[in-house]
Amino acid sequence: MTHTFHALPGGPLTGTLRVPGDKSISHRSIMLGAIADGVTQVTGFLEGEDALATMNAFRSMGVVMEGPDQGRVTIHGVGKHGLKAPQKNIDCGNSGTTMRLLSGLLAGQNFAVTLTGDDSLRRRPMARVTQPLAAMGAQIHAQEGGLPPLHIGATQSLQGIDYTLPVASAQVKSAVLLAGLYAMGKTAVTEPEPTRDHTERMLAAFGYPVHRAGATATVTGEGRLTGTAIEVPADISSAAFFMVGASICPGSDITLTAVGVNPTRTGIIHILTLMGADITLQNARLAGGEPVADIHVRYAPLHGIAVPEELVALAIDEFPVLFVAAANARGQTRVSGAAELRVKESDRIQVMADGLSLLGVRATPTADGMIIEGARAYGGGTINSHGDHRIAMSFAMAALCATGPITILDCANVATSFPGFDDLARQAGLRISAS
């Protein structure tokens, strides 16, 4: 396991790269393939620890899977009602997606299960998932403060609800919809602003009826899933590090191939373009119901902006590296409406502000975002990533424009989403080593 990154100044980033498969889609391919009738073939699967935690969870419930082998997984589905009680607690590792989506899918099963995880995951709030599931009749209980482990009791049937999300969250939306597969009547989820719609798209790919009207997605418990072929595109959240790195480092010119460009995930592209980035999409196509394109990025001087709040939910996972872009942009960048960042693998607002400030960037955290004064020279230093994979990779890219080396501690969890990050970064031109 890699625990420390050592990144030296300089670049540029060049070449053609393929980042790992989309984590969100990889999770869902296992979950839906497991409860489908028949065989599902997955290609491009992300062999990172988070997605593997989801795979191990379903293996513990009797689902036979072959792989992963170079991104290929064969899932022998057991049908909607074919899961079996696991012999022990399900360990979700560091994966909030695994825990939240499994909560919904397991809420309507006829057996009891406990979901737990590592120290970081056990500090992440789950009440916003457990509350709507309990309203559907689920026997689900968290610890004090709404924290994991989560205990889910056997349930004979759930009742569909009409639920409006208080805060935009694809994970909560997906948990309620997955519970709706086991509920009587209709389950409708309305979101205050768009979030990633991979669950809805993939349910449709498995032949399960999903009705979408405006901001509302609706399912019933009457459908069934049929095994299919799922092609997982490259993850735009992983591509984001190289998009920002190329945008801030003079002389950079990279192409990121076969990246998922689902419109509910392209906030990173829109925000960087508003800042002046030179980004073009090429070879646009559909893969397994998901839009895919090659992303070409060349260096261009960036300028600060007030990030439109309607783009925040579409780029929530990419803000750590967007803060690095802001540090290298001329003028001030303001981010608001991003309070969700405080309850990720770390408090990403505070951790990024602390790290940027240590390097010499004027970064002021706010309750729901940050104000960054960019384009000042910043130095090197030692950064504590607090075990957050996106923090670690963001500061690695910050080294491209630093005046001294940046050492990044506690990087083991990079493997949760981007196995081989340092190798690919070196291939592209980043002067990085690991120990």
pLDDT tens for residues 197-208?
999 999 999 999
pLDDT tens for residues 161-202?
999 999 989 999 999 999 999 999 999 999 998 999 999 999
Please work out, in degrees rounded to the nearest 5, the angle formed at the alpha carbon of residue 135 by the alpha carbons of 131 and 140: 60
244 burial level (CB within 10 Å; 0-12, 13-18, 19+): buried
pLDDT at 343: 87
pLDDT at 1: 55
Fill in the DSSP letter of residue 159. E
Known catalytic membership, residue 317:
yes
Of 235, 294, 317, 410, which one is the catalytic site residue? 317
Cβ atoms of residues 386 and 350 within 8 Å? no
Q: Mark the ranges of the chain whose per-residue pLDDT is less than 70.
A: 1-2
pLDDT at 287: 80
| Second-level CATH architecture of 4-21+233-434 | Alpha-beta prism (3.65)
pLDDT at 123: 92
Question: Taking phi first (over 0 means left), then psi (-120 to 50 degrees means alpha), and beta for anything else, what does residue 346 get?
Answer: beta
**Strand-pair partners of 297:** 254, 279
For residue 325, give Cα distances in angstroms to 40, 47, 153, 299, 344: 40, 28, 46, 12, 20
pLDDT at 289: 77
Cβ atoms of residues 13 and 429 within 8 Å? yes
Ranges for all domains in the chain classified under CATH 3.65.10.10: 4-21+233-434, 23-231
pLDDT tens for residues 47-70?
999 999 999 999 999 999 999 999
Cis peptide before 149 (omega within 30 of 0): yes
Please state the pTM of the whole predicted model. 0.90
pLDDT at 2: 58
| Second-level CATH architecture of 23-231 | Alpha-beta prism (3.65)
For residue 177, give Cα distances in angstroms to 21, 105, 116, 197, 198: 24, 9, 22, 11, 12
Q: How far is CA 201 from the centre of its chain?
A: 16
**Rounded Cα distance, 243 and 275, in Å:** 13
